[in-house]
Every structure is written in C-alpha cells, then in structure tokens.
A and B are shown apart, each in its own frame.
Chain A
C-alpha cells in the first residue's frame, strides 16, 4: 500500500489503517530519515490503542513501555535505535522478550540499526520525503 500525507495530522491518522493491516503480526518497523514522521506515526498508533499519556521520543532512553487495555495487546513497546546498534545476540536492551511476546506490540524506529535480523513476521513501513519536502510517501 502506498499513501501520501501532507501534514502531521495525516501521518498520525494513518495509524488506524496500519493497525488494521497487522494480520497477526506484532512488530512494526518504521524506516525513514530524521524528521520524516516516525515518532509521529508511533504517536498515532499509541493514540488508536488508547494510550492517554503524551508519547515522547524515546531516542534518549531507547525504549519506552506503555500499558494497554486492548483486546490483543497488553503493552506498547516503543523502541528507538537512533543512538545505538542493537545486537540481537547481546540484547543490551532486553528487547528479545518483547519480540517473542505476541501480546506486546513493538514499534521500532531506526530498525536498520540492528546487528543480526528481525523476526520474519514483521510489518515494515517505509517513510520518505517526496520532492516537495512537506509531502511524505508512506509504504507498507
């Protein structure tokens, strides 16, 4: 699916559609440049799932966990690998447990910063700038 968004709000509103496309997957990888809207999309996902806390960027703390009251998921795990490389064999973050737990919805920013590989069943979302920088192309 290829979507075009022209504002922060439009990017955020894609969350509902993205969640509808999960098809039993519980790991969402958000790939794209700095400023393209990864955290915005993660905010949208949290909103749809009923998180009422303000979702802030986890760049500094690498991972933030929000409890959910949801039919499918018990928690939202918001990961940002901007500052580190995640080595699946070392698992400095303690992320592996969540990657194995289908009741944890894991949303990962900067997923390319992995040493090793993500589980096979993931929803990959590519975010990119169009020529007009205000317009984003989002594919999943």
Chain B
C-alpha cells in the first residue's frame, strides 16, 4: 500500500510517499519546503503570507515527492492530509488540494490530526530504510514544539487520552522568548542549546513550574518570567552569564518535563515513552529522558531529527494506521463524505 501524505498546517509545505507492506514501512520520499526565509523578515510566521506560499508550493512539491518515489498518482492507494490544528488558511491549501486529487484520481482520502502525526513520528525510519511498525500499547506520548506541549496516553490507534497540556506558553515558545531576553537569535531552541552546552545548568535557581501539582498540565510562562526577573538584576551580561542562564533554563524545562512524565508513569501502566515535536530535537532532552527512565525499565522512543519538525511522512503513516485498522470516518467510502471535509484550526486530540 502506498500512501501520499500532505502537510501544510503552518509554515512548512510537505509531501511524502510512504509504502507499507505487511506492517513493514518505508518512506519513499519526504520533501519539506520551509518558508523560514520568507517569514524571517517578519520575525515569525504570518498566516496570510504562509497560505499564499503554500498555494504556490503544494502542487510542485507533491509532484516532486511522487517523482522521487518513481510513482504516479495512479500508484497511490490512499491520501492522508492534515486537517488541523494549525493556521486556517494554510490548512485549507493542503486539504483542498488533497480533496481535488482524491476526487479526480478516485483515491480514498483520510484527514489526519497533525498532533496524532507527531505522536507516531518515532516509527519512521530514514528514507529508503525498511522498518517494522511496532504495535505496543499503551504508550505515553509527549509532544513538545513551538505551538504545543501535550502529554497523551495512546491506548490504541483510535484511542488517545490527553492527560495534560500547557496552560499558557508552549515549551518551544518559552525557548524563543528566553532566547530573546538573552539577546539570542530566532528560532530560540537551537540557540539556547548551543549556549547551554558551555554553561552551568545549576548556576541559576529557576522554578520547575507546576511539578508540585499532581496533575499533568504544564506552564512555561512563569519560568520565562523567572528568567526575566534574574536577568533584570544582572548588570554585567557577559558571555558566561548568557551560557549559564541558557543552561539553567534548558535544565529547568527538561526537569519539568521529566517530573510530569514521572507522575504519569506512577499513574498509568506505561512501558514506553515517545517524545516528538520540534523541541524533541534537543539533544539534552533526549539524553536526560532516556537515562532517567532506563532505571525504570521504560523504553524511550525518539523520532529521527528530520521528523521532529513538521513533515508529511508522519501524516502518511498516521493516515495508514488510522485507516488500516478500521475504516475511519471521512475516508472515500463515498465521494460525498470527503468532499464535505473542512479544516479544523483548533482540532483537539480525541
């Protein structure tokens, strides 16, 4: 079975072809066209600009993904497309394109929740490498990115329980804002990590927000403010200070995430933790989570770096998983059902 994935939820246009043969999965192509350069002059993603760029890029990138896989539309068995959450205009470009191709080529279509895509991204091997789809449940999924911080109990392909999410800023957003406080470039995640390697993580005493509460919600706005308080008091903001603060902040974020994961494994019979999203590219986060939970005999799964950011391969895989096990609503059982699909910018995991 060959699945064409299409992802346009934010500022990345992506198309991918994934092949599944008897639970063996292979990414045949995965193209991501980032608009970062286009948005750089604005200092961030501008929805209208993003949507216009998607409408230029989506069809060429789909064609390229097919040609890289040496396939034509007629070879495709299923189209998986991101329905939400994301920017409405951006999502529309991907979904309407997918609907059109599905209609004209008579290919089944399945709408995918972007976050569910992230949750499964650890299953993807590097392009052209063959991997076996693992089916162990339940597992604990932690999505950490610029726009999301969610802790999800994945009970099976169709059952997701959101245990907690951020009540204010997402983890990645906190990285960006703290980078700004420290005079570092955007996006802040990689910049903070670079400085953090050179600094001392125990130099500044920063809070571990909401870790005393026994729930699973996160809060990173207060941590950002704590950094700001300390920053305002420092007169000599030399390199050493920036390195130490970056390290202390990074440590605080990682600690907080780990504490919440710990509370979760005390409450649920979990043997596997899977992290995903842009922030999961953070090396220290990966190492710390792995070493912490190795002691508890919990396996930690992380995506290949190329699948931490937004990509269509994860959408294709999620589409397959959702569709394969049970024909999900919205597939092309009847053409009418999917032509009526519309985007859902605030889509929640269900």
Contact = CB atoms under 8 A, between A and B. Distances in A.
Interface of A: 33-35, 39-40, 43, 54, 56-57, 59-63, 82-85, 91-94, 129, 133
A82 B181 CA distance: 13
Given A34-B180, A34-B224, A133-B229, A92 B168 contact: no
Interface of B: 42-49, 87, 146-147, 165-170, 172-173, 176-177, 180-181, 221, 224-225, 228-229, 232
B17 to A, nearest CB: 29
20 contacts: A39-B169, A40-B221, A43-B168, A54-B165, A56-B166, A56-B167, A57-B168, A59-B169, A60-B45, A60-B146, A61-B87, A63-B47, A83-B43, A83-B44, A84-B42, A85-B43, A92-B47, A92-B48, A93-B48, A94-B48
B221 A39 contact: yes
Nearest to B147: A60
With most chain B CB atoms within 10 A of its CB, the pick from A35, A129, A133 is: A35
Given A59-B177, A61-B147, A84 B170 contact: no
Given A92-B48, A94-B48, 11 more contacts: A34-B225, A34-B228, A54-B165, A56-B166, A56-B167, A59-B169, A83-B43, A92-B46, A92-B47, A92-B49, A94-B47
Contacts of B44: 62, 82-84
B170 A56 contact: yes
B259 to A, nearest CB: 20
B43 A62 contact: no
Question: Which of A40, A43, A57, A82 has its CB near the most chain B CB atoms (within 10 A)?
Answer: A57
A83 B45 contact: yes
A57 B221 contact: yes
| Residue with the highest number of chain B CB atoms closer than 10 Å, among A39, A59, A60, A63 | A60
A84 B46 contact: yes
A56 B168 contact: yes
Contacts of A54: 165, 167
Contacts of A83: 42-45
A76 B227 CA distance: 30
A1 B191 CA distance: 41
B252 to A, nearest CB: 15
Nearest to A94: B48
A62 B173 CA distance: 12
A60 B43 CA distance: 11
Contact of A59 (B42, B167, B173): B173
A34 B225 CA distance: 7
B48 A35 contact: no
A109 B166 CA distance: 19
A61 B170 CA distance: 11
A128 to B, nearest CB: 12
A79 B265 CA distance: 37
Contacts of B166: 56
Nearest to B49: A92
Contacts of B167: 54, 56
Contact of B43 (A43, A57, A84, A129): A84
A57 B232 contact: no
A60 B173 contact: yes
Nearest to A90: B48
Nearest to A33: B228
A95 B170 CA distance: 23
Contacts of B232: 129, 133
Contacts of B177: 34, 59, 82
A79 to B, nearest CB: 12
A86 to B, nearest CB: 9
A39 B46 contact: no
B47 A93 contact: yes
A110 B43 CA distance: 14
Contacts of A57: 168-170, 173, 221
A39 B168 CA distance: 8
